[in-house]
Structures are given as C-alpha cells and as structure tokens.
Amino acid sequence: MPPKSIASLRVLSNLRPPPILPSPVMGMLIFVIAEMMMFAGLMSAFSIVKAGALGWPPPGQPRLPVEATAFNTAALLASAVFLFVANSRYARNPDLAKRPLFIAMGLGAFFVAFQGYEWISLIRQGLTLTSSNHGSFFYLIVGMHGLHAMAGLATLGVVALKLSRGRLAPSSFVASQVFWYFVVGLWPVLYFMVYL
C-alpha cells in the first residue's frame, strides 16, 4: 500500500541507506578525472616536442625562474596543509575552521599573484606565446593551471562565505577540497616537467 501522509514518507526516507558518496563530491571527482586527462594530454604533447628539440629551452629564449618558483610551490603546498587543518577543525567546531581556511586561501592567492608577476617579467625578457614552442607550452600549461587555481580560489571563497554565515554543507566543503588538492597535487608534476 503506497504511503499517503508526509509523515509516513519521512519515515520511509529515513529507512533509505545513506548515499555511498555525496553528489557534490562524486561530481567533483569525475570532473577532476576529466581535468587530469586534459593535463595529461598537454604534458604528452609537451614531452614529444621537448624530446624532438635540439636544445631546451631553445637558444635565445630566457631561462625560467626555477628557484623563485620553487618558493612559490612551497606556498601552494602549505595552502593544502592549512586546508587539511581546516577540514579536521571543521569536524570538531566549524568556527575553528575559519582561520586555517583563510590562511589557505591567502597562500593560494599569493601563488597566483606570484605567477602573474613571473609572467610579466618573462614577457619583458621576450618569452611570449608566439616566441617559440617553449613559450607556447609554458603559457598554455602553466596558464591552464593558473586558471584552475583561480577557479579553486573562487570555490574556496564561496565556502568561506557560507562558513561565516553558518550555512556550509559538509559535502560542499569536501568537494571544494577535492578540487584544491587536485590543483596543489598537479603543480609539482608541472613544475618538474616544465621548469626543470
């Protein structure tokens, strides 16, 4: 016999087992897998062109700032650590998660700003999108990662806003973390391939 009252529907819905994974987290995981494949394609093309070149970087092209970017990489990795701390604090008391979350966002913003500063100096030195294959791949791969970092920061911004208003769903927080960990975890691979 079908249930007729809202109360009986509520009872039935409570009997349903919880989902294996919340929808926002599942959706984000699938999106991250798709993004990983996109970056794998870019890195493959870069590897083939680099292997075929007689010298890398090509003669006449500026060298990339390896040491400064290593420092920037450390800042990005630290942002992931602070986000992890924010998550563990959120489970105990959501208010305690605010400070590490803002620090993580600040470090992420520093990374993006530093990348922008680096780009300006490289463009001044003559490394542009059309100057060589080196420039094309550098701006394409690093720029694509920078776009993802900005999207991740925007997502964390929304999370911070909801957290301060006390309306943050745990699944949304986890989904934004998945994306940020992807952005952070991908960067050392790109740094190793493009800069070293």
Partner 1 sequence: MARALFHGVSVIRMKFALVVMISMAIWLVPKLASACAVCFTGRADETRTAFIATTGLLTALPILLIGSLIWWLRRRAHRMRDEHD
Residues that bind partner 1 (CB under 8 A): 17-18, 20-21, 29-30, 33, 36-37, 40-41, 43-44, 47-48, 50-54
Which CB, 36 or 74, lies closer to partner 1? 36
| Nearest distance from C-beta of residue 51 to partner 1, angstroms | 4
Nearest approach, Cβ of residue 181 and partner 1 (Å): 15
What are the two backbone dihedrals, phi and then psi, of residue 14, each rounded to the nearest 5 degrees?
-70, -25
Cα 73 to chain centroid, rounded: 13
Q: Sign of torsion, CA 6 167 78 68?
A: positive
**59 conformational bin, left if phi > 0, alpha if psi -120 to 50, beta if neither:** beta
Measured from the CB of residue 16, what is the shortest distance to partner 1 in angstroms? 11
Buried b (16+ CB within 10 A) or exposed e, 82-121: bbebbbebbeeebeebeebbbbbbebbbebbebbeebbee
- DSSP state, 96? G
Closest CA to 194 of 41, 36, 43: 43
Lookup result for tokens 């959501």:
94
Kindly tell me which of 87 and 164 has the beta carbon lying closer to partner 1: 87
**Is the CB of 72 or the CB of 132 nearer to partner 1?**
132
Q: How far apart are CB 23 and partner 1 at their closest, in Å?
A: 13
**CB of residue 196 to partner 1, shortest distance in Å:** 16
Smaller CB separation from partner 1, 11 or 21: 21
Cβ nearer to partner 1, comparing 37 with 68: 37
